Amino acid sequence: MSDLPELVELSNGTETLTFDGGNTANPDDDVLLIGKDGVEGWFETPDDKTVMSERGQGDGAHDVWASDILYSARVLTLHFIVSAHDRQGVVRLLNRVRRVCAHSKVRFRLRDAGYDCYTTGRATVKASAKYARDGWLDDCTLTVTCERPEILSSVESVCQLGSLTASMAGGGLRYGSNLSSPTGLQYPLAYGLKTSGGTSNVAVLTNNGTSRAYPVFEVVGNMPDGVRLDFPGTQQSIACSHPVDGVSLILDSRSRTATMDGLDISRYLTSRGFPTIPPSGSVNVVLSSYGGGYVNCRVRDTFM
C-alpha cells in the first residue's frame, strides 16, 4: 500500500490528467505518478494575513476578533514523475501537462484516505532536464496558486425549497361547488397557503468541514415578485426584487452577488444578509416567496 495520496486529478474543463499514487498504475502504460515528496500545502493553512494593531501602552497588540482572522492565497506543490517507455512518451506526457495548465484556470482534485476534495487556481510546471534512457523522469513539480484558499468537497449537497402558493382564492374553508346554494363543507379542506409541487419551503444546510462554508442558491422560476430567503436565528435574509422566469437567478454567498445568465444584477438586492455555515455546524433556511418556482440550495463541506 502506498503512503502517498490515492490520486491527483488536474482539469481545465476540457481535458483531465491523472497523477497516480502508485496503487493502480499499470506498468505497461506511460503514466504520470505522484513523487515521493507528495503534495505540499494541502493539509496546511495558508499564511496568516490578519492585520494587527500594536498597543500604544502595554505589551502586545489589540485583540483580534475571530471573524477578522484572514488567510492568504493557498499554494500547492505537486511533486510528480513521468514514467514512460521512451523519449517520445516523456515528451508526449509533458506536453499534455503543459496544455492543461497554459492560460487556464485548473481544478486540482485530491483523493486520499476517504476524502475527495478539490480547489481551483492557476498552474505552472517545472520539469527536470535529465531523464534515464527508459523514460523515467523525476524531480518535476506542478505549482497551483489558489486565489480562494478553501478546499471543497467534491460531493455537493443539494436540497430543494418549494415556493409558496395560494391553495385557493381567498383561502380558508370552502362550502360546496355550487356557490349560489352551498350545501356543506367541500373536502379536502384547504387552509390558505401551501408549497408548489409538495416540496417543503424549509431546510437545514450543514457543513462538516473545518472552515466556514458559503452556500449558493439557484432560483428557478416562475417567481414574478422576486425571491426572499430567511435564515432563522441569524437575523439575516436575502431578498431580490427582480422577477425570475426562464433564466435562473444565482445568489452566491461568497461573492455576495446576484447574477442571471452571467450578468450581475446585484442592484436588485433589497436585503444582503448572505449566510455562512460554520464548521461542523448548520444554518436553517426558509423560502418565503410566492410563485410556481423553487430554489436549489447548494453547499460543500469546506476545509482551510
Q: pLDDT digits over 168-218, tens only?
A: 334 444 455 554 555 554 455 444 444 555 578 889 999 999 999 999 999
Q: Look at the block and give the residue holding cell 430567511.
A: 230
SS3 content of the chain, % helix, strand, coil (to 5): 10, 45, 50
Categorize the per-residue pLDDT at 152 as very low, low, confident or very high, splitting at 50, 70 and 90: very high
| Interatomic CA distance for residues 179 and 220, integer angstroms | 36
Q: Answer for the pair 202, 163: CB distance below 8 angstroms, yes or no.
A: no
Q: Find out whether 80 and 32 touch, Cβ atoms under 8 Å.
A: yes
Note whether 152 and 118 are within 8 A (CB): yes
Least-confidence region, from 5-19, 22-36, 274-288: 22-36
Please give the Cα distance from 70 to 49 (Å, whole number): 6
CA 283 to chain centre: 16
H helices within the chain, ranges in order? 87-101
Q: Are 92 and 78 in contact (CB under 8 A)?
A: no
Q: What's the sign of the alpha-carbon dihedral 17, 78, 119, 205?
A: positive
Query: What's the pTM value of the predicted model, to 2 decimals?
Result: 0.80
C-alpha R_g of the chain: 27
Instruction: Kindly provide the residue ranges of all beta strands, DSSP E only, lying in 41-188, ordered along the sequence.
Output: 74-83, 105-112, 115-126, 136-146, 151-153, 157-162, 164-166
State the chain's mean pLDDT as an integer: 85
> What is the rounded CA–CA span in Å between residue 60 and residue 68?
17
Of residues 89 and 207, more confidently modeled: 207
CA distances from 188 to 27, 155, 191, 199, 234 (A): 68, 41, 10, 19, 37
Supply the pLDDT for residue 135. 72
The three grid cell numbers given for residue 172, joined into one nine-digit string: 380558508
**Confidence label for 25 from pLDDT (cuts 50, 70 and 90):** low
Query: What whole-number distance in Å separates Cα of residue 181 and Cα of residue 212?
Result: 60
Beta strands at 164-166 and 193-195: parallel, antiparallel or unpaired: antiparallel
- Please tell me the number of Cα atoms within 13 Å of 84 on its side-chain side: 17
Residues paired with residue 116 on neighbouring β-strands, in sequence order: 111
CA dist 181 and 191 (Å) reads: 22
Cβ atoms 289, 244 nearer than 8 A? no
